[in-house]
Amino acid sequence: MPNSVKVFISYSHDSKDHKNRVLALSDQLRYDGIDCWIDQFESDVPKIGWSQWMQKKIKESHFILIIFTEFYLKQFSASTKPDEDLNQDWKGAILDLEIVHGQIKNKQFIPVLTSETDTNFIPPVFKKSKQFFLESDYENLYSFLTEQTLPKSLINQKSSQKPKNKNPFSTSSVRNIKDEGVIHLLKQSNIIGDKDGISIASKEVVDTASQIYDLLNGVHPAIEIVGSYIRETKITLIEYLLLFKPADKEISSQNTTRQDYPKFLALAINLSLEQIQKKCPMAVELIRLCSFLDSRLIPHEVFLEEEIDLLENDLEEKTDWNLHWDKIIDIACRYSILNQSLDQQSLRMSNIVQQAIRDLLESPRLWAEKALKTLETAFPDPDFTSWPICEELIPCARAMLNWINKFGLQIPQTARLCNDVGYYLNHQGDYAEAEIFFQKAYSIRRNCYGEEHSLVATTLSNLAWNHKVRKQHEKAEKTYQETIQLWKKIYFGDHPDVAISLDNLGNFYREIGQYQKAEEVYKEALEIFEKFLGDEHLDVVHSLNNLALLYKTQERFEDAESLFTDALEIHENILGKEHPEIAVAKTNLADLYLKQNRFKEAEFVLSEALKIREKTFEKQDPIIASSINNFGILYLKMKNYPLAETYLQKALNSFQNILGFDHPNTINAMKNLEKSREKQN
């Protein structure tokens, strides 16, 4: 009966994405029967104030999950207590040492981490506590919460052993929970109305509902599924109870895997799937696929991007998901196996329901592969225009990686998905996780295509990029050089792809200060581009810009300006004067002027770049924030500190809201703002 566990989540408001991930965890725990609370459930500032509200929730809870991040640690270490009047500026439900020491003897504080690197942000007082990772450890976390709080006498209905003294739940509280579960089953079954009490039902009906509740161990998703089945089929509780007996034998013969859920949950699901199959076979296909995706967030885009044939019989007519989507969703959700979000843009399925469905499959590997191919089709090319869709699909990609590893799904679709997920994560600053996906893609592509293939070289180049941004200099240089040699083997000599890798290596050398090596490889790349592509080509433009950036770094300003202006002219000839890439070129030129204290020229060019970006991007976009930050830096150098502070504060606010507190752009903007304030003081 996991719905007797009370949990409070303490976390910081690092970013919108971080808040959404915590909300998804809380929603999933509540959906799986755990009474979980976070501050986002409050529509306004509590009357008692945030600090008192948080302490009250902690006292009421059996567990406190703490989502440790760098920002959380900074606030915790400073013992920052939330302001009673905070609302929009509320930094999150962050504990302080006083609260911890006051509760640590009778509370279990559980660190939950968003990534492996976050282990560095766990304070010493929690170092010995059991730790879990936000996405990948949900099953273990759920088991820990339920098994640690409930004695075996309550979990196993056959046992007559009395609860141990350490059980935090009294007999009366367990009885009340069961009564609530029975009432919910009766309401879900339409046996009593939503506003009716249990007294309206006969004793026989209540006793039968109580038997079903016990068979399901009080698991909330199971009660939902059983109640929905009874409502849809219009059978009685007794008739449903009788259905369990023949189904019990059938399921037991099929299911040989370990179960972490009540056996009768699997029976209930199987009965519902039989009904769904009669009404809409594609709804069953959808349910099976969703059992391999993220339980908390399955965006509709996974299925609606393109037509996908999922019917097992090739002779059957292909079904268009878009054409039948409303019917498919209606049937699947009507039986409460799937649930739709309030905005009707995503689906969710209880973790234990997912496990039960997978255990019912004769060939789970086949369905894992189908789910992988579906997700791979939906995942877009990860350029900046598709980042919002990528972000929505990342949780499913993380879940899919587990099945890729478990079943050894060494197919081209796996490689493409892992490569593109890694590419997106690397752009978002999730470097350690990006490397995991890149390594998986590299291994599979070598296995599928052989050593000398363009896709292998592409992923190897991405790995080099990952090493570079993580300051792993030796690995980065070696991998870039391996990529260049691989491209030369593929093309039997020079080729524009070879030049692109040379440019990448030149960027690496420039960033680590090896300027002579950088100039050599830049010039080699430019020569190859001009030989194969001519002068009027974007790759030539990018190569000229790279060489100009090197000269600017070396303070060879005249050479740099000549190359920047040449590149800008070619760029505008190819793309027009209002393309977003022109804004990048102008920003580079403005930075060159800034280096020479040519402030008016820099201000004019930055204004042109900002106008281009404002026409192209939405206001809440990191690219707009970058342009605003550039003005802050300009005015900082001009010693116009009040104006600099205005722009830098605006940029910082945008970066925090869009990218989070730990993103490099946010950190740099914060440093610039501090510098501006120091100068004024």
CA neighbor of 429 nearest in space, from 663, 113, 668? 663
- Gap between the Cα atoms of 226 and 275, Å rounded: 12
Q: Do 334 and 185 share a structural domain?
A: yes
Burial class (CB in 10 A: 0-12, 13-18, 19+), 551: buried
18-77: pLDDT as tens digits:
787 788 788 778 777 787 888 877 656 677 777 777 878 887 788 889 898 888 887 776
Establish if 503 belongs to a structural domain: no
- Gap between the Cα atoms of 476 and 108, Å rounded: 43
**pLDDT score at 48:** 72
**Least confidently predicted of 18-27, 252-261, 302-311:** 252-261
Residue with tokens 């079904």: 319
**pLDDT score at 248:** 55
523-573: pLDDT as tens digits:
999 999 999 999 999 999 999 999 999 999 999 999 999 999 999 999 999
Q: Do 99 and 27 share a structural domain?
A: yes
**pLDDT score at 201:** 87
420-438: pLDDT as tens digits:
999 999 998 889 999 999 9
Q: What is the mean pLDDT of the chain?
A: 83
Band (pLDDT 50/70/90 cuts) for residue 167 is very low
Establish if 420 belongs to a structural domain: yes
Domain that holds residue 402: 379-447
- The answer to whether 37 and 7 have CB atoms below 8 angstroms apart is yes
Establish if 522 belongs to a structural domain: no
Whole-model pTM above 0.85? no
- E strand or H helix at 291: none
**pLDDT score at 312:** 41
Band (pLDDT 50/70/90 cuts) for residue 575 is very high
206-223: pLDDT as tens digits:
999 998 888 888 788 889
121-163: pLDDT as tens digits:
887 777 677 888 876 677 788 878 876 544 333 333 333 333 3
The strand order across the sheet containing 63-68 reads 35-37, 6-10, 63-68, 108-113, 132-133
Question: At residue 2, what is the residue type?
Answer: P
What percent of the chain lies above the pLDDT cut of 90?
A: 50
Establish if 571 belongs to a structural domain: no
Q: Do 301 and 189 share a structural domain?
A: yes
Tokens of 150: 């409930």
Establish if 369 belongs to a structural domain: no
Tell whether the model's pLDDT for residue 202 goes beyond 70: yes
Establish if 504 belongs to a structural domain: no
- Count CA within 13 A, CB hemisphere, residue 9: 29
Q: Which residues pair with 340 in a beta bridge?
A: 347
What percent of the chain lies above the pLDDT cut of 70?
A: 84
Mean pLDDT across the stretch 161-175? 38
Residue with tokens 């234990």: 352
Q: Do 409 and 271 share a structural domain?
A: no
**pLDDT score at 148:** 53
Establish if 645 belongs to a structural domain: no
Q: Do 353 and 324 share a structural domain?
A: yes
Q: Which of 362, 392, 417 is the last residue of a domain?
A: 362
**pLDDT score at 663:** 76
- E strand or H helix at 608: helix 599-616
Find how far residue 194's CA is from the centre of its chain. 36
Establish if 204 belongs to a structural domain: yes
> 365 or 14: whose pLDDT is higher?
365
**pLDDT score at 576:** 93
Q: Do 253 and 316 share a structural domain?
A: yes
- Gap between the Cα atoms of 654 and 621, Å rounded: 8
- The answer to whether 78 and 87 have CB atoms below 8 angstroms apart is no
Tell whether the model's pLDDT for residue 111 goes beyond 50: yes
* Pairing mode of beta strands 339-340, 346-348: antiparallel
**pLDDT score at 158:** 30
- Gap between the Cα atoms of 56 and 350, Å rounded: 29
| Angle CA 358–363–369, to nearest 5 | 85
**Which CATH number does the domain housing residue 79 bear?**
3.40.50.11530
> 429 or 97: whose pLDDT is higher?
429
| Angle CA 111–112–116, to nearest 5 | 110
Number of domains forming the structure of the chain: 3
CA neighbor of 185 nearest in space, from 164, 214, 153, 159? 214
**pLDDT score at 13:** 83
Q: Do 215 and 349 share a structural domain?
A: yes
Mean pLDDT across the stretch 168-196? 72
**pLDDT score at 100:** 53
**pLDDT score at 334:** 94
462-490: pLDDT as tens digits:
999 999 999 999 999 999 999 999 999 99
Q: Do 233 and 88 share a structural domain?
A: no
Q: Is 216 helix (H, G, I), strand (E, B) or coil?
A: coil
**pLDDT score at 97:** 53
Tell whether the model's pLDDT for residue 263 goes beyond 80: no
- Gap between the Cα atoms of 655 and 665, Å rounded: 7
